Structure 1
Amino acid sequence: MSLKTALRVIAWLLLAGLIFVTLSPIDLRPVSPAPVQLERAAALALIGFVFALAYPRHIWLVALVVLGSTVLLELLQLLSPSRHGRLIDVAVKLTGGGIGIAAGWLLWRWRPQR
């Protein structure tokens, strides 16, 4: 399996995991000692970073998928009685996702050329 293929598989698995964690009942949400907003930003930064490395020539589509799914998932939380979608959560997640996308794309752009 090539690195590109592996990154693409990892990117989609990370997004699938985010979808599960975001839309599942709150008691199934993983818990860590980190502040919850830091968890959110870091999760989206990682997803954005991996997607940007997996699809570097399609960075606008990456932004649409990562940032668009962030907004959509936050809206879908409003349909769940045990979850809530809040503007601050969207802002934190979009910031993390944007930073991850930018970091991944810049790493790809500045990679050593063969």
Structure 2
Amino acid sequence: MNVRRIASVLAWLLLGVIAYSTLSPLDLRPHMGSSVQIERFGAFGLTGLMFAIAYPQHVLAVLAAMLAAAIGLELTQMLAADRHARLIDLAVKMAGAGCGVGAGWLLVSLWPGSSRKSRA
């Protein structure tokens, strides 16, 4: 299994965990013990990093999808009685996603012998 395939599996799993954490009742949401804003930034950053590594030839689409996921998940919280959508939460999620995708793009660009083109 190559790095891109592993990154792809991790990215989709992380996105699933983010969706579960965002939409589940507060008492079922996993907690790392740090600030929730750091958790949000880190979760979206790591997910963006994995998606950028998995799909380096589509980095702009990855960025757009991560930003759309942040917006969509934050908006769906308005449908839950015990959850709330806040602009600061959205901003932190979008910043994490942008940093993660940017770091992934940079990592793939600088990786020795790597090109951003897909190797099937």
The one-letter amino acid of 1:18's match is I
Which residue does the alignment assign to 2:109? 109
| Cα deviation code 1:7-59 (max 9, x no counterpart) | 11111111011111111111101122211111110111000111100001100
Count of matched residue positions in the alignment of Structure 1 and Structure 2: 114
Cα deviation, residue 61, structure 1 = 1.1
Deviation at 1:2, TM superposition (A): 2.4
Q: For 1:30-41, what aligned pairs fall within 5 Å after superposition?
A: 30-41=30-41
Structure 1 stretches of at least 4 aligned residues deviating more than 2 Å after TM superposition: none
5+ unaligned residues in a row in structure 2: which ranges?
A: 115-120
Question: How far apart, in 2, do the equivalents of 1:78 and 1:38 lie?
Answer: 22
Cα deviations by residue, 1:47-75 (Å, 9 ceiling, x for unpaired): 01111000011001101211110100000
* Mapping 1:34-113, distance limit 5 Å: 34-113=34-113
- Give secondary structure in 2 for the equivalent of 1:16: helix
Other structure's SS at 1:78 match: helix
CA distance in 2, matches of 1:32, 1:42: 11
Q: Please, what is the CA RMSD of the aligned residues?
A: 1.0
Query: Alpha-carbon deviation of 1:4?
Result: 1.6
The answer on 1:5 being equivalent to 2:5 is yes
**Structure 1 stretches lacking a partner, 5+ long:** none
